Amino acid sequence: MSVWLNSVSDDLDLITDWWFFLRMYNLYGIDLDGGMYARATLALLVFAGIGTLSYLMELYQTVFRYPDTIHWLAPMTILLEDVPQILLTVFLSKPFEADLEPLAAFNIATSVYSALIKVTGEVCVNYCYCCKFIPPVDEDSDVELGRSFVSEG
């Protein structure tokens, strides 16, 4: 269940990050010498790229390394992708000048949802239950003193 919730939150977060970036790019463009909003759109591009890299790393972790996870990946994603996306979305959507755009609100919601799933998933799976998740053992192997021996024949 945790893997599924994390996957859905990551998928939604990645889609809305790029969707919001494209909307801001169409409004302000990207220009280092331009206005404040054009530079913030460039920062949005950088953090969307970081979000894509963290998404690919989480995909690799889920497919090839599960349940042996990369422990620093979730905090890195929250601090280097979700938090900057939320702050840039609030800044670029100008919430004090007009109502918050539906796309901006959706982008903020998916980033918050993704961060909460990452935090609560680890806490609930590892600390709220009576035991830690242990993957099942293959039927063809014998487990003895922490070593796995494959039975022959």
Domain ranges (residues) in the chain: 2-150
Q: Which of 87, 92, 84 is nearest to 41 (CA)?
A: 92
Q: How far apart are CA 102 and CA 63, in angstroms?
A: 33
- pLDDT, tens digit (0-9, with 9 covering 90-100), for 129-151: 545 555 666 665 555 444 444 44
Cis peptide before 67 (omega within 30 of 0): yes
Identify the H or E element spanning 148.
strand 147-150
- pLDDT, tens digit (0-9, with 9 covering 90-100), for 94-130: 766 666 678 888 888 888 888 888 887 666 655 555 4
Can you say whether the dihedral through the CA atoms of 110, 58, 17, 28 is positive or negative?
positive
- Residue 138 or residue 52, greater confidence: 52
Q: How confident is the model at residue 47 (pLDDT cuts 50, 70, 90)?
A: very high
